[in-house]
Amino acid sequence: MWSPPYEVGCPLGDGGGGFGSHSYDNPLPKGRLMKNPTKKFAPILTAALALCATGAGADTVVEKAAQSPQFETLTRAIRAAGLEGALDGRGSFTLFAPTDAAFAKLPPGTLEELLKPSRRAMLASILRYHILPRRYSSRAIMRLPSGTNVSTLNGENFAVRKSGGVALDPFVSERARVVQTDMRAENGVIHAIDQVLVPPSLVFTLARNPAFKNENRSSP
């Protein structure tokens, strides 16, 4: 009797149900049944589970971001906002991560002001605006109709627009373009973007605040 190959997969959660897998052909000759297959394949299963635990998807989104030199400012901001716990735990997140170059585009003094303890709530709201409460791989994003609104962890939306690439549109401030995709983590996925997104609810607050007098990026 023939039986199919044994497949061992690490659930990488690419948003499309994909698995990173290895197939092992059934070693038995035709017409023979395996005695105690669990014992036979225990070493293979153990090795595969170890690979899943220690492979590229074993870190949380915070740990994954902290390992990349292009996200040093983001990692600092996440810690200043006290969001490590929220993003280190169980869950499934998509983090649209501004690079260091994206933070450098902010008007002078803006980042320094946001990193102050007195601005912690505002910084947390801005960072939460970059996080979706579910996992979207680049493949899943490309399946969305252009202009689809997605909800973020701060309760506000932005639109995903596709024209010569993928851009995130917060409606009243500059769009951010996705410049790197699918950095997988145990509890989500990271996509790098080239602008810091400003939530609609904070654009005019920042513009009216003397400490953010240069932070007026709203559309006319």
Q: What is the pLDDT along the chain (220 residues), one digit of tens a residue?
A: 322 222 222 333 333 333 233 333 344 445 555 555 555 555 544 444 444 443 444 699 999 999 999 999 999 999 999 999 888 877 899 999 999 999 999 888 889 999 999 999 999 999 999 999 999 999 999 999 999 999 999 999 999 999 888 999 988 788 999 999 999 999 999 999 999 999 999 988 777 766 765 444 433 3
Question: For residues 204 and 210, is the Cβ–Cβ distance under 8 A?
Answer: no
- Alpha helices of the chain — where are they, by DSSP H? 37-54, 61-66, 72-81, 84-88, 100-104, 110-114, 120-128, 138-143, 200-208
DSSP state of 93: E
pTM: 0.71
Question: For residues 78 and 98, is the Cβ–Cβ distance under 8 A?
Answer: no
Distance CA 212, CA 204 (A): 10
Domains of the chain, earliest start first: 6-54 (no CATH), 61-212 (2.30.180.10)
